[in-house]
Structure 1
Amino acid sequence: CGMFAHKYPKWVAKLHYGEKYFAFDGVKDLMKFYFNPLKWGKYTNATKDKITSFEVTDYYKQNSVDGFKAFYVIRSDIYGPMGNELIPFDKLEDAKTFQKDHNGKRILKFSEITENIPYELDSK
């Protein structure tokens, strides 16, 4: 989207490709890039099979966690820099607590996030 991720350290998400990485201002925008990097530019080397790590910022602990293993709450009353967001947590129990406290609609594992979900979050 063109926003600067460094302005939003509480929301930073990164896709690593070896020693290079792309930083995003939230998981939602990262997922848009993950599913279709060529939509955003000539990122021919940014394919899923070349990802060496995926970091997200745990909402409660504010530390970096493995995005492939994280749990994501969607449609809560907490918004990120770009509005509705996939709110990441390292532990399922933390995601459940957040879901209850902030009216989250669902908890998703990474494997359950489909290409359409980030765009659906934009259309609240």
Structure 2
Amino acid sequence: MCNHHPSRRRALGLLAGVSAASMMLPARARATDAPRIDLPEPAPGNICPVCGMFVAKYPEWIATVAFDDGSADHFDGAKDFFKYLNDMPKYAQGRTAAQITGMGVTDYYGIERIEATAALYAVGSDVLGPMGHELVPLLNEADAEEYMRDHKGKALLTFAEVTPALLANLDQGRFE
């Protein structure tokens, strides 16, 4: 299994064969990039509220939720970020979704924080995150096509399509 990504950003001139890969993309995918988002960086001691791992150790996987009081929670991957959002009473005690002012995930190729609701997410590929099978955030359709082709992704999802059932399946290495 591949769990690294040398340089991650390839020239966009490598889009030969896109037609086959584009068949894997859902019709709702956008042609535009997910906007970059400026969010606080985790401190070395910040731990993921879902799994307890030190987040700063995994800069290529960081996800962040920022709140209206200026605080933020950080995660060691998009999978735990989504678990948190799906069960805020458990993981974000005393906070509500209405207090969220920004949500970002780290783009696989650019290694920059992008708006979580606009990213595309690949599942079932040969890339593993800090917690194993992961949702891999991607900036745009072109990157998603390249990723799915290069890393044998099983499905490509939008933010709204990520469900608690999918997250539970990912923990068990299933990609339905």
TM-score over 0.5 for the alignment? yes
Indicate the larger mover: 111-120 or 99-108: 111-120
What's the CA shift string for 1:21-40, capped at 9, x where partnerless?
10000000111111002223
Q: Is the 8 A contact 1:96 1:107 kept in 2?
A: no
Q: 1:116 aligns to what?
A: 165
What's the CA shift string for 1:38-96, capped at 9, x where partnerless?
223x6121x22322111111000101100010000001000000000000011121012
Give the whole-Å Cα distance in 2 for the aligned partners of 1:120 and 1:50: 29
Partner SS state of residue 68, structure 1: helix
Q: 2:76 aligns to what?
A: 25
Which is strand-richer, 1 or 2?
A: 1
Identity across the alignment (%):
39
Give the whole-Å Cα distance in 1 for the aligned partners of 2:153 and 2:110: 18
RCO higher in structure (CA 8 A, sep ≥6): 2
Aligned equivalent of 1:66, options 115, 118, 133: 115
Q: 1:10 aligns to what?
A: 60
Mark the structure with the bigger radius of gyration: 2
Show structure 1 runs of 4+ deviating over 6 A: none
- TM-score of the two chains, using structure 1 as the length reference: 0.93
Aligned equivalent of 1:54, options 90, 93, 103: 103
Give the whole-Å Cα distance in 1 for the aligned partners of 2:66 and 2:165: 23
Q: What is the identity, as a one-letter code, of the residue corresponding to 1:6?
A: A
Structure 2 residue 141 is matched with structure 1 residue 92: yes
Partner SS state of residue 52, structure 1: strand
Partner SS state of residue 43, structure 1: coil
Question: Is there any run of 5+ residues in structure 2 with no aligned partner, and where?
Answer: 1-50
Give the whole-Å Cα distance in 2 for the aligned partners of 1:101 and 1:2: 31
Query: 1:20: Cα distance to partner?
Result: 1.0
